[in-house]
Amino acid sequence: MSERRTLRVAAVQLDAELGNVDANLERCERLADEAGRAGAEWIVLPEFFTTGVAYRPELVDAALAPDGEATEMMASLATRHGAHVGGSFLAREPDGHVRNAFLLLSPDGEILGRHDKDIPTMWENALYIGGDDPGRIETDGLTVGVALCWELMRTQTVERLRGAVDLVAGGSGWWSIPAWPPRRLSAWHERRNAERATRAPQRFAMHIGAPVIHAAHAGSFSCPWPGTSATYRGHYEGGAQVVDHNGRVLAFRDRADGEGVAAAELEPRRGPGLDSPRRFWLQKRGSIAALAWAHQNPHGRRRYRRNVSAAPSGDRSGGQQLVGADDRRAGVL
Q: pLDDT per position in the chain (333 positions), as tens?
A: 445 689 999 999 999 999 999 999 999 999 999 999 999 999 999 999 999 999 998 899 999 999 999 999 999 999 999 999 999 999 999 989 999 999 999 999 999 999 999 999 999 999 999 999 999 999 989 999 999 999 999 999 999 999 999 999 999 999 999 999 999 999 999 999 999 999 999 999 999 999 999 999 999 999 999 999 999 999 999 999 999 999 999 999 999 999 999 999 999 999 999 998 999 999 999 999 999 999 999 999 999 998 887 765 545 544 333 333 333 333 332
DSSP state of 330: T
CA 295/CA 291 separation, integer angstroms: 6
Report, in angstroms and rounded to the nearest whole number, the Rg of the chain calculated over CA atoms.
Answer: 18
Number of domains, the chain: 1
Residues with Cβ < 8 Å from 219, sequence gap 6 or more? Answer: 14, 15, 16, 235, 236, 258, 259
β-sheet bridge partners, residue 86:
44, 104
Domain coverage including residue 297:
7-310
CA 187/CA 180 separation, integer angstroms: 9
Q: Specify if 317 maps to a domain.
A: no
Residue 196: count other Cβ atoms within 10 Å of its Cβ: 18
**Taking a C-beta distance cutoff of 8 angstroms, is the pair 153, 137 a contact?**
no
Q: Specify if 66 maps to a domain.
A: yes
Q: Specify if 130 maps to a domain.
A: yes
The amino acid sitting at 76 is S
Q: Specify if 315 maps to a domain.
A: no
Q: What is the CATH number of the domain that holds 197?
A: 3.60.110.10
Q: Specify if 325 maps to a domain.
A: no
| Secondary structure of residue 214 in the 3-state scheme | strand
Q: Specify if 322 maps to a domain.
A: no
Q: Specify if 68 maps to a domain.
A: yes
Q: Specify if 60 maps to a domain.
A: yes
